[in-house]
């Protein structure tokens, strides 16, 4: 395989999508077809990646690699879900109930762990990052928004205070807007680099 072919395919697909989005409605059907292909290819890529994951863990088990017990848990749970789902169908309520019974408590507990981690991390933030405009404004903002989150101040019903609260509540949007524009600028440049084959590929 020579390098120019993927480059040509990439540039062409990008330009077709750009043109189709610009010349709506004429390009609508082309765009729908390309999006359809993208969804399929992304789906197949996911299956390939999952197959690769399972094969890797099977190899760990076969080689008795350290921690192979965990690989065994992964492979068995994967195969059990796949077989159960193939037999009952992915929309089957019993199947969904059992999948939920495993996924939901783990995910909820993991999110709960995040709360515990955040508590300790927030306390260490000044020690780790020192005192700067960023850390001080972060600390003050976190305290203020924690207090505002309680709703106590809003319930006092002082018109002047409510005005201040509304103003303060709008402040995080300023930083978010600036960061979003910055991220947008960075992403735009990255997109141009990818589109015109300047980003490089694994085949460089």
Partner 1 sequence: MLSTLTLNDQLALALGLAGLLFLLINLLLLKRNPPKHIPEPAKEAVENLLHVSSEQGKRLVVGLGQNLTNASFDLSGASGLSLQRALLKRSLFNDHPLQSFSGDGVLACLSRMAVHGAYRGALASELFDGSLSQLSGTSHMAYTASLANYIPDTSNAGLLLAGQMSPVILLALDQADRHSLPAISAIASLSGQAAGFFGSSVNLMGEDVFNAEGKLAQRKASLASLSAQDWLRITISIGLLLGAILKMGGVLP
Partner 2 sequence: MSPSELLTLIIGIALTVMVFSYILGDRLFFGIATHLLIGVSAGFLALVVIQKIILPYLIMPLTYETGTGFFLALVPLALSILLVLMLFRRGTQVGSIPLAFLGGALAALAIIGVTRGTLAPQILSTVGRFAPEQLMHETEPQWSAILEALTILLGVIAVLFVFHHQGQSKAGDVVKPVFLEGIGSIGQIFIGITFGALFVGLFSSALIALINSLSEIIDFITLWF
- Determine if 76 is a binding residue for partner 1 (CB under 8 A): no
CB of 127 to partner 1, least distance (A): 9
Span of 58-66, 90-98, 151-159 interacting with partner 2 by CB under 8 A? 90-98
Site string for partner 2, 53-72 (x = CB under 8 A): xxx-----------x-xxx-
**Residues belonging to the chain:** 204
Site string for partner 1, 26-55 (x = CB under 8 A): ------------x--xxx-xxxxxx-xx--
Span of 84-92, 94-102, 153-161, 179-187 interacting with partner 1 by CB under 8 A? 179-187
Separation CA 85–CA 89 (nearest Å): 5
CA nearest neighbour of 15 among 27, 3, 4, 1: 27
> Please, is 131 exposed, middle or buried when counting C-beta atoms within 10 Å of its C-beta (0-12, 13-18, 19+)?
exposed
The residue written with tokens 């197959």 in the block is 51
Helix (H, G, I), strand (E, B) or coil at 140: helix
Of 32, 44, 62, 161, which one interacts with partner 2 (CB under 8 A)? 44
- The Cβ-side half-sphere exposure at 56, using a 13 Å CA radius, reads 9
**Which partner from the list partner 2, partner 1, none does 76 bind, CB cut-off 5 to 8 Å by kind?**
partner 2
Nearer to partner 1, 9 or 161 (CB): 9
Reading the block at residue 163, the tokens are 């005005």
Separation CA 18–CA 87 (nearest Å): 43
The residue written with tokens 């300023």 in the block is 174
Span of 58-66, 105-113, 151-159 interacting with partner 2 by CB under 8 A? 105-113
* Binding interface with partner 1 (CB under 8 A): 38, 41-43, 45-50, 52-53, 56, 59, 70, 106-107, 110-111, 113-114, 117-118, 121-122, 124-125, 128-129, 138, 176, 178-183, 185-194, 198-204
């Amino acid at each position: 395989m020579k390098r120019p072919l993927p480059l040509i395919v990439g540039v062409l697909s990008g330009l077709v999508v750009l043109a189709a989005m610009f010349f709506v409605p004429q390009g609508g059907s082309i765009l729908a077809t390309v999006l359809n292909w993208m969804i399929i290819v992304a789906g197949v890529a996911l299956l390939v990646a999952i197959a690769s994951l399972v094969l890797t863990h099977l190899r760990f088990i076969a080689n008795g690699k350290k921690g192979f017990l965990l690989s065994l848990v992964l492979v068995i749970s994967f195969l059990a879900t796949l077989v159960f789902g193939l037999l009952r169908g992915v929309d089957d309520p019993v199947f969904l109930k059992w999948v939920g019974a495993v996924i939901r408590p783990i995910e909820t507990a993991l999110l709960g762990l995040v709360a515990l981690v955040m508590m300790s991390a927030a306390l260490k933030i000044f020690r780790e990052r020192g005192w700067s405009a960023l850390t001080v404004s972060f600390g003050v903002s976190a305290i203020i928004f924690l207090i505002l989150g309680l709703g106590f101040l809003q319930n006092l019903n002082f018109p002047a205070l409510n005005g201040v609260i509304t103003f303060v509540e709008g402040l995080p949007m300023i930083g978010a807007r600036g960061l979003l524009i910055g991220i947008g600028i960075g992403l735009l440049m990255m997109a141009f680099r990818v589109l015109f084959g300047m980003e490089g590929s694994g085949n460089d």
